[in-house]
């Protein structure tokens, strides 16, 4: 099978399945991505460059135009690849960036789409909590993003998404054609093991100290960095010995940027300035390579995932795989992953006392917590390992080729 994966942020969710399909099934795999992304030499990689969006575009028009630029550039580049002799049985695209919008104009085979999220303007009018309330401008822009998702959804030959909650975000009349196939992880890397090497980024983690961790690409409100600090302050009142470790960058990916109004350079800086506890026990390092994050998660006693309801991050799954006890905000996204008292601990996102209580319970060296950790690692292995997800995706894509 010859497949071209199209994703602007190479390699995105396609990396592990693509590697597995190439190594285990002999598929011929290449990628089409943007020129501003890195390369690792694992695949043939073609680059496209989207045109600049007109500066006078606003609201939904600006969002739609940005995605449209990706769609036009990806289609032009794919046409050039085909003219140069590349041949594909399938083209697989990530919806949400517009890259699949015009592929049918240049490729006459099946086009398959991975769908992440559809923003419901009705639900965004009711904030989950004040810190992440949507502005009217952001809601209007979401119409432009949604229009692109709808174009892709009705245009592809087949579609899948990563979790039942993400599937439920799609319009009711269209979600029936979308299958659920989880994102894969590498069980040979993300697994329980000794925590002898304590180096994580710029940090040297101490031994014999309970660690509560928080990881996110961007340390922002939508992913719950502020909630983490509120929980940490509560936990410190009962357990001043706990070390809190955060990993992530000072970048804004979702939601409002409140720190600008308060005069701080970053959201992390703003929130730490307000922290009422012992800030010396809040350690931080920017994003680190996966092997270093594994070191942290193996050394972690409790890992926290306190995101707003949204696309499920990989960090809670990876933490469970490494043997950390997960404490998560309870909502539809996390219920796809964790069962209270069985594979993790949960509490309502807005109940700081309840979340702190779950962290404190998770810190205790009990047989119950040991059982939660073992069951969580085993269930993640059974559901999400690449040697489980890979065959499922292979079967799905093979059916698409024959449709």
pLDDT (tens digit per residue) in 91-124: 999 998 999 999 999 999 999 999 999 998 777 7
Residue predicted with more confidence, 256 or 119: 119
The answer to whether residues 167 and 210 belong to one domain is: no
The answer to whether residues 147 and 225 belong to one domain is: no
Residue 128 banded pLDDT, cuts 50, 70, 90: confident
191 domain-assigned:
no
Query: What share of the chain has pLDDT > 70, as a percent?
Result: 96
How is residue 269 written in tokens?
A: 């800086």
The answer to whether residues 210 and 235 belong to one domain is: yes
Whole-number pLDDT of residue 114: 97
65 domain-assigned:
yes
DSSP assignments along 315-380, one per residue: HHHHHHHTTPEEEEE-SHHHHTT--BTTTBEEE-TT-HHHHHHHHHHHHS--HHHHHHHHHHHHHH
Per-residue pLDDT, averaged over 169-190, amounts to 95
Per-residue pLDDT, averaged over 345-361, amounts to 98
192 domain-assigned:
no
190 domain-assigned:
no
Q: In whole angstroms, give the CA distance from residue 321 to residue 190.
A: 6
H/E element, 151: helix 136-155
The answer to whether residues 378 and 299 belong to one domain is: yes
Whole-number pLDDT of residue 36: 55
The answer to whether residues 51 and 173 belong to one domain is: yes
CA 63 to chain centre: 21
380 domain-assigned:
yes
| Residue 326, strand partner residues | 303
193 domain-assigned:
no
The answer to whether residues 212 and 151 belong to one domain is: no
326 domain-assigned:
yes
Q: In whole angstroms, give the CA distance from residue 104 to residue 322.
A: 42
The answer to whether residues 115 and 8 belong to one domain is: yes
Whole-number pLDDT of residue 52: 83
| Chain segment 5-44, per-residue pLDDT in tens | 999 999 999 999 999 999 999 999 999 999 655 556 778 9
Residue 402 banded pLDDT, cuts 50, 70, 90: confident
Domain that holds residue 337: 199-384
DSSP assignments along 221-273, one per residue: TTTTHHHHHHHHHHHHHH-TT-EEEEEEES---SS--THHHHT-SSHHHHHHH
Any idea what the CATH number is for the domain that residue 347 is in? Answer: 3.40.50.2000
Per-residue pLDDT, averaged over 289-297, amounts to 97
- Tally of structural domains, the chain: 2
Per-residue pLDDT, averaged over 77-88, amounts to 97
| pLDDT for residue 260 is more than 70 | no
Whole-number pLDDT of residue 403: 52
Q: In whole angstroms, give the CA distance from residue 190 to residue 381.
A: 9
The answer to whether residues 133 and 223 belong to one domain is: no
Handedness of CA 390, 393, 395, 400 (dihedral sign): negative
Whole-number pLDDT of residue 56: 75
Residue 139 banded pLDDT, cuts 50, 70, 90: confident
Query: How high is the mean pLDDT of the chain?
Result: 93
194 domain-assigned:
no
The answer to whether residues 133 and 215 belong to one domain is: no
The answer to whether residues 51 and 174 belong to one domain is: yes
How far CA 288 is from CA of 284, 342, 381, in Å, comes to: 11, 30, 23
Whole-number pLDDT of residue 301: 98
| pLDDT for residue 197 is more than 90 | yes
The answer to whether residues 357 and 396 belong to one domain is: no
The answer to whether residues 55 and 71 belong to one domain is: yes
């Amino acid at each position: 099978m010859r497949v071209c994966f199209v994703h602007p942020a190479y390699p995105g969710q396609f990396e592990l399945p693509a590697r597995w399909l190439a190594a285990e099934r002999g598929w011929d795999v290449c990628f089409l991505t943007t020129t501003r992304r890195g390369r690792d030499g694992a695949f043939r990689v073609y680059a496209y460059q989207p045109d600049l969006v007109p500066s006078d575009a606003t609201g939904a028009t600006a969002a739609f135009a940005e995605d449209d630029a990706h769609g036009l550039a990806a289609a032009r580049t794919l046409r050039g690849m085909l003219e140069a002799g590349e041949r594909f049985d399938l083209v697989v695209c990530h919806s949400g960036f517009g890259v699949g919008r015009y592929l049918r104009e240049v490729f006459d085979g099946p086009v398959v789409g991975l769908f992440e999220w559809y923003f419901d303007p009705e639900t965004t009018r009711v904030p989950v909590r004040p810190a992440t309330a949507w502005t009217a401008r952001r809601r209007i822009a979401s119409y432009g993003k949604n229009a692109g998702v709808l174009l892709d959804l009705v245009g592809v030959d087949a579609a899948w998404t990563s979790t039942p909650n993400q599937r439920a975000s799609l319009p009711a009349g269209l979600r029936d054609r979308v299958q659920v196939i989880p994102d894969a992880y590498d069980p040979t890397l993300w697994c329980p093991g000794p925590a002898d090497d304590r180096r994580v980024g710029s940090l040297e983690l101490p031994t014999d100290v309970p660690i509560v961790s928080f990881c996110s690409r961007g340390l922002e409100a939508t992913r719950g960095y502020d909630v983490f600090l509120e929980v940490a302050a509560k936990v410190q009142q009962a357990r001043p010995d706990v070390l809190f470790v955060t990993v992530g960058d000072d970048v804004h990916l979702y939601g409002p940027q409140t720190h600008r109004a308060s005069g701080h350079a970053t959201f992390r800086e703003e929130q730490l300035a307000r922290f009422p506890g012992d800030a010396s026990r809040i350690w931080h390092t920017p994003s680190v390579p996966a092997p270093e994050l594994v070191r942290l998660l193996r050394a972690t006693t409790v890992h926290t995932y306190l995101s707003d309801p949204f696309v499920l991050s990989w960090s809670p799954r990876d933490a469970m795989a490494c043997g950390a006890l997960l404490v998560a905000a309870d909502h539809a996204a996390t219920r796809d992953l964790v069962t209270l008292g069985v594979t993790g601990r949960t509490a309502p996102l807005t109940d700081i006392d309840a979340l702190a209580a779950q962290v404190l319970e998770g810190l205790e060296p009990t047989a119950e917590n040991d059982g939660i950790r073992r069951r969580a690692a085993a269930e993640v292995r059974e559901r999400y390992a690449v040697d489980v997800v890979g065959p499922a995706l292979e079967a799905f894509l093979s059916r698409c080729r024959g449709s």
